[in-house]
Amino acid sequence: MKENSLLPAEKHGYDFIPEKYLPDGADEYWLRNAQQTELLSKKQETAANIENIDLKKYWRNLTPNEIEILEKNRNYCTNWNNFLVRDPFMPQLIHDSYFYGLVRIGVMQNVLQKHHDFCLPVGIRGSTIISCDIGDNAAIQNCAYVSHYIIADNCILSEIDEMQCTNHAKFGNGVIKDGEDEDVRVWIDVMNEAGGRSILPFKEMIAADAFLWAAYRDDTALTEKLAEITQKQYGLTTCRVNGQTGSFRGSYGVIGSDTVIKSCAIIKDTTVGENAYIKGANKLKNITILSSAGEPTQIGEGVEMVNGIVGYACNVFYGSKAVRFVLGRNSNLKYGARLIHSVLGDNSTVSCCEILNNLIFPVHEQHHNNSFLIASLIQGMSNMAAAATIGSNHNSRANDGEIRAKRGFWPGLAVSIKHSSCFASFTIISKGEYPSELNIHLPFSLVNNNVHKNRLEIMPAYFWVHNLYALERNSWKTKNRDKRKIKIQNIESDYLAPDTAEEIIAAMSHLDEWIGQAGYSSGDLTGSKWLLDIRFIPCRSMEAGKRDQVIIKPLRAIAAYRQMLHYYAVKTIASYLDSRPDLSYGKLSETLGEIKQQERVKDWVNIGGQIVPAFRMDQLRREIGEGKYINWDEIHGVYALWEKEYQLDKCRHAWATLALLRETDRAHDAAAFKRELDAVMETRKWIDKQIYESRAKDYRNPFKKATYRNQTEMELVLGKPADNSFIRIVRKEGAAFNEMIERVTARLN
């Protein structure tokens, strides 16, 4: 049944805020005026003098001659006294339009607004405007219903069926307004369908915030305080009329300057930043679209987005759908992608597929229509292949299972994985339907479902031994695709960092145990090649089922893990020294030499792609619970402080890791460290060679050659291995690495 279906005609555009929700002494325009004053202060760069902006003097009333021209141009207004303008104003540029409520219009000149090849004359034509502020030189054409919006300068609005804002608009933030029940608050059920990890979206949310909120549900003081912080920061407003603070109704939607919106159906309770381009969207409701001149956002045909946040520099095209979501900075939804009850981190691209109830860290790639991801924590640098269905099967009586995958999660073609499963960093999963839950805690592994032998097979250190091209390219892509102009937090792009180093150390311990149980010893690493090539040994606790679980080439894996740790440790220490020309090796040794193996920081947390010691996270959680931080900006400031500490934190960890490898607590003297640098130079040469060989072997594959008439045709189509763009990048980075090692070595001399 329609509510209040019949109203007096003269009321159209007025009484936006019900009287019972108005602050004492304030009128229905108080919030609109506050928003407009803030916009004008930015425009005039007078933020320090915001209180001196007098809106009553900013616009003027129409002259009788202007009213006459407007009426001759078939325009209608219920009260021309509430139609205010700013000079220079040309009434001839407005025709065939209807105006209701208080309408305020900026400068209007006989010029054209152009966006690429789309060009419209400034003015208002064939439109209905209800209680709006319209900025300088806006071009508005054939907009059937525009209500309660502040439209900034130089905007183009064309062919919009409905664009309106309600008095209780939240613009995608998880807050409630005066008089609303708690059940209207919008929550996002990340990581778990059952809702036990729900979070509230907000305008500046990043993946780290979502993780902080969702991952520590036992810390009730933390979660309660985060909900309180969000409501205060995004739901409370102070009335300038009387100083009252409350969850006041009455915010207008804002369309930022130089934004173009055309051929759209419904835009409701949506605020849009500057320089955005929105074309052919079906429905945009209760969302914030962040956009700027440096990081413009684009939304294309057939898109439907409800209850969420769209980050800066995002692209959403071709029928994509998003409901209860946060889309991170510089991310993309394309070709009918569905993002539901999920947070997608920065620098990610999702095409075609369906993503439900997930928290996904930055740099996630998912491109295929038949892939499916549900109820998961995916910690970045990830890529899902076609027909991968992650978490599609529940093994409990309720839909409360979870998937957790650390950095570099790569499920292959047609992989099917059940809840609840966990995966170490840089796990690649070969094609297959895995019958039981998995707990793969050996990093850089290849996981295989051997149906013929009815067993689970894990090859640890697979990437390092067999596919360094993919591993190095993933790190390069992570850096190269980071186009964020403003980086709220750092994203660790190196596959060897404290988090993965600790996983390697733990994996070596597991392998030692299983090798011993199989009748061998890790001391056999120095033995014959036959021992090094032991094909497999039994393992346990990797799969919930009763079938066999085996480790492929365990001794070779330990050798590879040790090489990876050594490369990480020495490279990290050398990089830190190179970044500190003021710091001698002797001074560094004196400072870090006191760190014993046992004092190594073993617990590290990946929070939205940023790697931090767990004790720092624990301190932040405690301080939030105690009420130390009053808004999310201050919490983001902590992330920035962590980043300043990270290089030293990482160097400390590397120093202790090197001590572990050398089995000594003694400080590494300069001569010994110089030998370590020489060894790491050889490792880098080996890495470069392996990367080249990983690519070159494709050119020797007879099946790859089969589609070409001869080698010349193949090289003209694919290029030569040496000409591969990434190979050239690797060589350049290898040369830079060698130069860095040489600089550090010279300082040791």
Could you report the per-residue pLDDT of 705-728, keeping only the tens digit for each?
889 988 888 888 888 887 888 888
pLDDT tens per residue across span 71-125? 999 999 999 999 999 999 999 999 999 999 999 999 999 999 999 999 999 999 9
Going by the DSSP 8-state scheme, the letter that residue 540 receives in this structure is -
Rounded Cα–Cα distance for residues 739 and 731 (Å): 12
Instruction: Please tell me the distance from the alpha carbon of residue 504 to that of residue 635, in angstroms, as a whole number.
Output: 31
Instruction: Report the SS3 class of residue 3.
Output: coil
Secondary structure class of 613 (helix, strand, coil):
strand
Residues with Cβ within 8 Å of residue 391, at least 6 apart in sequence: 373, 374, 375, 376, 401, 402, 403, 417, 418, 419, 421
Cα distance between residue 206 and residue 126, in whole Å: 41
Tell me the pLDDT tens digit for each residue of 119-138.
Answer: 999 999 999 999 999 999 99
Structure confidence by residue, pLDDT tens digits, 596-620: 656 799 999 999 999 999 999 999 9
Alpha-carbon torsion angle 494, 498, 502, 508, nearest 10: 50
128, with CB counted inside 10 A (0-12, 13-18, 19+), is middle
Which pLDDT band holds residue 53 (cuts at 50, 70, 90)? confident
Q: How far apart are alpha carbons 675 and 139 in whole angstroms?
A: 70
Q: Which helix (H) or strand (E) holds 265?
A: strand 260-272
Residues 139-159 have a mean pLDDT of: 98
> Average pLDDT for residues 305-311, to the nearest whole number?
98
- Which of these, 148, 135, 147, 141, lies nearest to 123 by C-alpha position? 141
Contacts of 429 (CB under 8 A, 6+ apart): 410, 411, 412, 415, 417, 423, 447
Looking only at the bridges linking them, the beta strands covering 128-130 and 146-147 are: parallel
Q: pLDDT digits over 230-247, tens only?
A: 999 999 999 988 889 999
Q: In the Cβ-directed half-sphere of 317, how many Cα atoms lie within 13 Å?
A: 12
Q: Tokens representing 492?
A: 């660790």
Total residue length of the chain: 749
How far is 350 from 325, CA to CA, in rounded Å?
14
Q: Which residue has the higher pLDDT, 550 or 369?
A: 550
Take residue 321 and report the two structure tokens written for it. 């759908």
Q: What is the pLDDT of residue 310?
A: 98
pLDDT value for 1: 47
Banded pLDDT at 394 (limits 50, 70, 90): low
590 φ/ψ angles, rounded to the nearest 5 degrees: -65, -40
Distance CA 740, CA 349 (A): 34
pLDDT score recorded for residue 57: 86
User: Is 675's pLDDT higher than 50?
Assistant: yes
pTM: 0.94
For residue 75, give the nearest of 116, 119, 41, 105 by alpha carbon.
105
Secondary structure (3-state) at 233: helix
E strands, 451-495, in order = 455-459
Average pLDDT on 638-642 reads 97
**Local structure of 563: helix, strand or coil:** helix
